[in-house]
């Protein structure tokens, strides 16, 4: 029996997508073998790859002067790839906003290759908010400006897109495809797939073409966006199954009404949970209201001694993976696209009952 899964990643996948993959696993497209067992250069797989790209372009309204890349090494690989690909264009300086653990990892990696200017940080209040635009000033002549629109661990989401001079780079791992975004405002967008796209093992990169000529000369081949773009993301063997499954998720998203429908749903789901948290005298949200994430909702119990009890009972109730990140404790419910409204309704009902009995 499928249960409601609130895992932060690898996260829930749409059930119809899993059912389709299961149904065609042994004999894919009448070839007598699975999609995992054909050449990535075969016409059948090439069609899968091209359709996935086109569907992603349609979903996100990606302009023609952007390349779509399917990459390996996760979002973490891109923490390194970004400085490698952008520090060779004349400036080895970059601006970063520090909003928590993922931003921090990106910053530390960039520091190995150039100068990082942390233009704003929310460390003063335990990373519980997104700094506002008046809090920072860009450097002159930065190679790029990096931020994390949604901090998956802290549950902090930027309610705005920074308006900056240098190319804007965004780690959208946990928020991509959850609402329409103006891609033309960005130089590079990237996301590990395992939150809001598909299985782990693949990452998506969306890069403005004019940025493909700014790499450091010694860039490792596997990190080069330019080489990936020229090879249709097949300079080496790509993770074909993850690519195929991500493509099925894109088709599913289109059938659901695309990112507009996801925006509406994500608001509805997160609002339902935040409303409950704000009414509750027992559960609470540690995140400042204006910066609360629609995707990841951390919450704490008034009495941390009940955490284990909460996790045990919630699991028995068919609500999986509510434990907060090991570094921050408490609870976290991730409400990605594949998590249905019914899951949040069941969670809120369970929490209300738990509060009645233990609060």
Known binding residues: 41, 75-76, 102, 152, 171, 194, 236-237
- Restricted to residues 198-217, the positions that interact with ligand PLP (CB under 6 A) are 203
> Is residue 173 close enough to count as binding ligand PLP by CB under 6 A?
yes
How many residues bind to ligand PLP according to rule CB under 6 A? Answer: 13
Alpha-carbon distance of 259 to 330, in angstroms, equals: 30
> Is residue 9 close enough to count as binding ligand PLP by CB under 6 A?
yes
Whether the Cβ atoms of residue 162 and residue 147 lie closer than 8 Å to each other: yes
Choice from 171, 225, 277, 332 touching ligand PLP (CB under 6 A): 171
Whether the Cβ atoms of residue 297 and residue 359 lie closer than 8 Å to each other: no
> Is residue 102 close enough to count as binding ligand PLP by CB under 6 A?
yes
> Is residue 262 close enough to count as binding ligand PLP by CB under 6 A?
no
> Is residue 98 close enough to count as binding ligand PLP by CB under 6 A?
no
> Is residue 83 close enough to count as binding ligand PLP by CB under 6 A?
no
Per-residue b/e over 302-335, b at no fewer than 16 CB within 10 Å? eeeeebeebbebbeebebebbbbbeebebbbbbb
Among candidate residues 67, 84, 171, 225, the one labeled active-site is 171
From residue 121, alpha-carbon distances to 13, 101, 107, 278 in Å are 33, 12, 12, 26
SS3 285: coil
Choice from 195, 208, 292, 323 touching ligand PLP (CB under 6 A): 195
Which range, of 169-177, 234-242, 282-290, 321-329, touches ligand PLP by CB under 6 A?
A: 169-177
**Side-by-side strand order, sheet with 144-147:** 66-71, 203-208, 188-192, 168-171, 144-147, 93-98, 115-121
Establish whether 252 is a catalytic residue. no
Residue 351: partners with Cβ closer than 8 Å, 6 or more residues away: 276, 280, 283
Among candidate residues 28, 67, 84, 102, the one labeled active-site is 102
SS3 content of the chain, % helix, strand, coil (to 5): 40, 15, 40
Establish whether 171 is a catalytic residue. yes
Which range, of 90-98, 166-174, 222-230, 319-327, touches ligand PLP by CB under 6 A?
A: 166-174
Name the residues that contact ligand PLP, by CB under 6 A. Answer: 9, 74-76, 102, 148, 152, 171, 173-174, 192, 195, 203
Catalytic residue numbers?
102, 171, 195
């Amino acid at each position: 029996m499928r249960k409601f899964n609130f895992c932060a990643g690898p996260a829930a996948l749409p059930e119809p997508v899993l059912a389709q993959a299961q149904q065609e696993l042994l004999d894919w497209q009448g070839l007598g073998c699975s999609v995992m067992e054909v050449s990535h250069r075969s016409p059948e797989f090439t069609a899968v790859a091209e359709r996935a790209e086109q569907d992603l372009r349609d979903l996100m309204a990606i302009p023609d002067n952007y390349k779509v890349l399917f990459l390996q090494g996760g979002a973490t690989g891109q923490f390194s790839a970004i400085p490698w690909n952008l520090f060779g264009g004349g400036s080895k300086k970059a601006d970063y906003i520090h909003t928590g653990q993922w931003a921090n990892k990106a910053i530390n990696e960039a520091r190995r290759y150039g100068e990082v200017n942390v233009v704003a940080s929310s460390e003063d209040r335990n990373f519980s908010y997104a700094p506002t635009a008046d809090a920072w000033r860009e450097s002159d002549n930065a190679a790029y400006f990096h931020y994390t629109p949604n901090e998956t661990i802290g549950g902090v989401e930027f309610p705005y897109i920074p308006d900056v001079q240098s190319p804007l780079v965004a780690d959208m791992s946990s928020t991509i495809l959850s609402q329409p975004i103006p891609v033309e405002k960005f130089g590079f967008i990237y996301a590990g797939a395992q939150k809001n796209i598909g299985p782990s093992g693949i990452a998506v990169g969306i890069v403005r073409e004019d940025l493909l000529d700014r790499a450091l000369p010694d860039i490792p081949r596997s990190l080069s966006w330019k080489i990936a773009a020229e090879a249709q993301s097949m300079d080496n063997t790509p993770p074909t199954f993850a690519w195929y499954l991500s493509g099925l998720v894109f088709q599913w998203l289109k059938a659901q009404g695309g990112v507009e429908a996801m925006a509406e749903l994500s608001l509805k789901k997160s609002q339902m949970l935040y409303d409950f948290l704000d009414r509750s005298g027992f559960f609470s949200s540690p995140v400042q209201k204006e910066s609360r994430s629609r995707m990841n909702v951390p919450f704490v119990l008034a009495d941390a001694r009940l955490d284990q009890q909460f996790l045990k009972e919630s699991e028995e109730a068919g609500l999986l993976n509510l434990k907060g990140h090991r570094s921050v404790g408490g609870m976290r419910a991730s409400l990605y696209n594949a998590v249905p409204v019914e899951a949040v309704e069941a969670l809120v009902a369970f929490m209300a009952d738990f509060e009645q009995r233990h609060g």
